[in-house]
Structure 1
Amino acid sequence: MAATDAAPSTYDRTKAIKEFDESKMGVKGLSESGITSIPEFFIHPPQTLSDLRSSSRSSPGAVPVIDISGINSIADRPNIVRQVRDAAKSWGFFQVVNHGVPAPVLDDTINAIRGFHEQPHENKAKYYKRQEGQGVMFASNNDLYRTEAASWHDSLQVWMGPQPPVSEEIPEVCRREVIAWDGHAKDVADKVMELLSEGLGLEPGMFRELTFSDARTLVGHCYPHCPQPDLTLGITSHTDPGIITVLLTNRVPGLQVKHEDDWTDVDPVPGGLIINIGDFLQIVSNGEYKSVQHRVLANGMKEPRISIVEFFNLTKWKDSDQYGPLPELVFPDRPAIYRDFTKQEFLDNFYSKGLDNKSLIDRIKV
């Protein structure tokens, strides 16, 4: 019988990933090198690629845009609370405008993060590492060694709270803007959390008392041009693990949200900030608020997509080191739908694998 089997592959995926990681060049370095095809470990499985191709990228509606300029108005605040509550329950995503952050600050922050990523390789390489949890870290794909397929983005991460780094640790090219943005993003998050708390029938300051904005990580993503955007993703579909996320982005498209089984493009409005609900808030709200899948498509445009994400989580766990649905939101006719979980269980779930969708929520359902 004639031999028809193909020759065995000589591709060593582990070696290829290690060589890429140790080069410290990131995907921006690959893009700038003039490659016309992406390394194999960036290619996603057929089911993911099929989903990308089948996505109509049409919207069964649009992500809500909420004007919060009237939050201190007795007449306007109830309507704003209602809008935020409804968006958090049905979409898990919304945009806020008239949030109090001046437009020049938004532009300066985007330009500073872009400036970091556009530095020469040797300037960025000294920050390249994989020690997560504190300080400053530059890397491509924080889950590079845990995920099935890498995605086309690089990230500067700065752990801003509860123990911020010494300012000199932050790259000088964006130091002033990173420190300033942390303050602005926290102010917006605190305003939004007041509205979310009221939407649950709780006191406005309850989330602040529970330290829901004290643990903060600022991540400056860069999605450079990808020569084969139909074979990979900018970031894979996932839900955020924490309380809420505040996102500032330039106008290069790519972010999509899963809504009613369709992928919906999120088109940033001028001067707006994008807010989304995390898994932790879905749990403590006893399912009232929803964290939803979202992803970023690989960028086929020449201009890089820049996004500055600030993740908010709590620092003060309960005395028992467990968290679950808030007792104020559990009733005889609406019992707890999630069990309590520990801080270690929360951390282990996130750091043991690549980005995914609601794995902790699925694990602790009653």
Structure 2
Amino acid sequence: MSLNTSTSSHLNYDRKAELIAFDQTKTGVKGLVDAGITTIPRIFHLPLTPENLNSDQTSGLKPSLPTIDLEGINDDPIKRKEIIEKVKDALETWGFFQMINHGIPNSILKDALNGVMRFNEQDTEVKKQWYTREKVEKRKVVYNSNFDLYTEPVTNWRDSFFCPMLPNPPQPHEIPEPCRDIWLEYSSRVLKLGHCVFELISEALGLKPNHLFEMGCAEGLALLGHYYPSCPQPELTIGTRDHADNDFITILLQDHIGGLQVFYQNHWTDVPPIPGALVVNAGDLLQLITNDKFVSAQHKVFANKMGPRVSLAAFFSTGLYPTSKVFKPITELLTEDNPAKYRGTTVYEYETYYKRKGLDGTSALLHFKF
């Protein structure tokens, strides 16, 4: 079956059959680009509504995402206090901020992104060996295109591979060779940085620095590499549709191309790439335990004629690793006027629901509200 459905009529369009055909190639979106397509298959088409298409990318009068400089954070108490206040303001309003002088050398950041590129651009037959839709419990590395391929109405223009690093780390041979060494190095660096960020968030909540760490918010870490090939018709599709993250915090490394936007004050606002910077955002689980004090903001990524675009996200969550620990709104943040808004949940329960729901543009948190 041809994957290019641009000439198909509405009546003979069989979406499920085309999804199966696309999936069975095991080459993802990159395989389509390598085949030289000039029109994108219909499975990638967004509904023709202004909020879905790239037209809102051009609305330019928007505020700037906060950028927080971490230099001197452990040496200057006054500077640390100022940084904590900035983190508090950013997470209460945006749910996002960028950080510079975070301690991870630019050479490691560059190599980490190159690892994503090397994996996706290796020999196709070698890469196919990693392609699977098995659950991550069965395979340490899950590489495919769209984890929710068969449940969502629109296929996103990206390929991804996912590897949990904690609490049950992979053996080196279980990580693809093109990114093996750098992912092990980067995960150790980003884990240390994540502990620092959790301290800042704890203090921004008026709690002791180790509060979130002792709750178990940093017990899990997973790396997710996204590869967005150049798109011949970016106005018709999306790189990653609007969603909130399924974790406590995400630390994102993006390349120079851009395309990430966050929903802020009823507008989509660009998150411009800053050389050497990392993007931090609150996930749903942080919003839940802070009882909506900090927001897990919707965000998305555009498809682009430029490319490929690559990014590497570090998710702080135990995901589908089976744990019995229950997370609920932090007692110290609750008052008679601010009672708990969410019921307790395990990360596993939350993650299972999130995966089943898919990226449909709605918040998974609604399922856990009282």
TM bucket (normalised to shorter chain) is over 0.9
- Answer yes or no: is 1:278 the counterpart of 2:292: no
Distance 1:60 1:267 in 2: 12
Task: Give the conservation status (yes or no) of the 8 Å contact 2:282–2:294.
Answer: yes
Q: What do residues 184-224 of structure 1 show as CA deviations (whole Å, max 9, x unaligned)?
A: 11111111110001000111011111221221110111101
Task: Give the conservation status (yes or no) of the 8 Å contact 1:155–1:220.
Answer: yes
When normalised by structure 2's length, the TM-score is: 0.92
- Farther off after superposition, 81-90 or 202-211: 202-211
Q: Matched residue of 2:77: which SS?
A: coil
1:62 aligned residue: 64
- Answer yes or no: is 1:240 the counterpart of 2:245: yes
1:221 partner letter = H
- Answer yes or no: is 1:21 the counterpart of 2:23: yes
2:49 aligned residue: 47
Q: Matched residue of 1:196: which SS?
A: helix
Distance 2:324 2:25 in 1: 44
- Answer yes or no: is 1:250 the counterpart of 2:255: yes
Q: Matched residue of 1:133: which SS?
A: coil
Task: Give the deviation of 1:360 after TM superposition.
Answer: 2.8
Of 132, 135, 143, the residue aligned with 2:135 is 132
- Farther off after superposition, 91-100 or 162-171: 162-171
Task: Give the deviation of 1:59 after TM superposition.
Answer: 4.7
Task: Give the conservation status (yes or no) of the 8 Å contact 1:325–1:336.
Answer: yes
2:334 aligned residue: 330
- Farther off after superposition, 238-247 or 49-58: 49-58
Task: Give the conservation status (yes or no) of the 8 Å contact 1:243–1:280.
Answer: yes
Distance 1:332 1:351 in 2: 34
2:104 partner letter = V
Percent identity between the two aligned chains: 40
When normalised by structure 1's length, the TM-score is: 0.93
2:14 aligned residue: 12
Task: Give the conservation status (yes or no) of the 8 Å contact 1:211–1:315.
Answer: no
- Answer yes or no: is 1:116 the counterpart of 2:113: no
Q: What do residues 78-114 of structure 1 show as CA deviations (whole Å, max 9, x unaligned)?
A: 0010001100111101001000001111111111211
Which stretches in structure 2 are left out of the alignment for 5+ residues?
Answer: 1-7
Of 291, 296, 307, the residue aligned with 1:291 is 296
2:80 aligned residue: 77
Distance 1:98 1:361 in 2: 33
Task: Give the conservation status (yes or no) of the 8 Å contact 1:239–1:356.
Answer: no
Task: Give the deviation of 1:157 after TM superposition.
Answer: 1.0
Task: Give the deviation of 1:321 after TM superposition.
Answer: 4.7
Task: Give the conservation status (yes or no) of the 8 Å contact 1:58–1:263.
Answer: no
1:89 partner letter = E
Q: What do residues 49-73 of structure 1 show as CA deviations (whole Å, max 9, x unaligned)?
A: 6553244342521110000112212
The 5 Å alignment of 1:212-361 reads: 212-301=217-306, 303-314=307-318, 321-357=325-361, 359-361=363-365
Which stretches in structure 1 are left out of the alignment for 5+ residues?
Answer: 1-5
Aligned length: 359
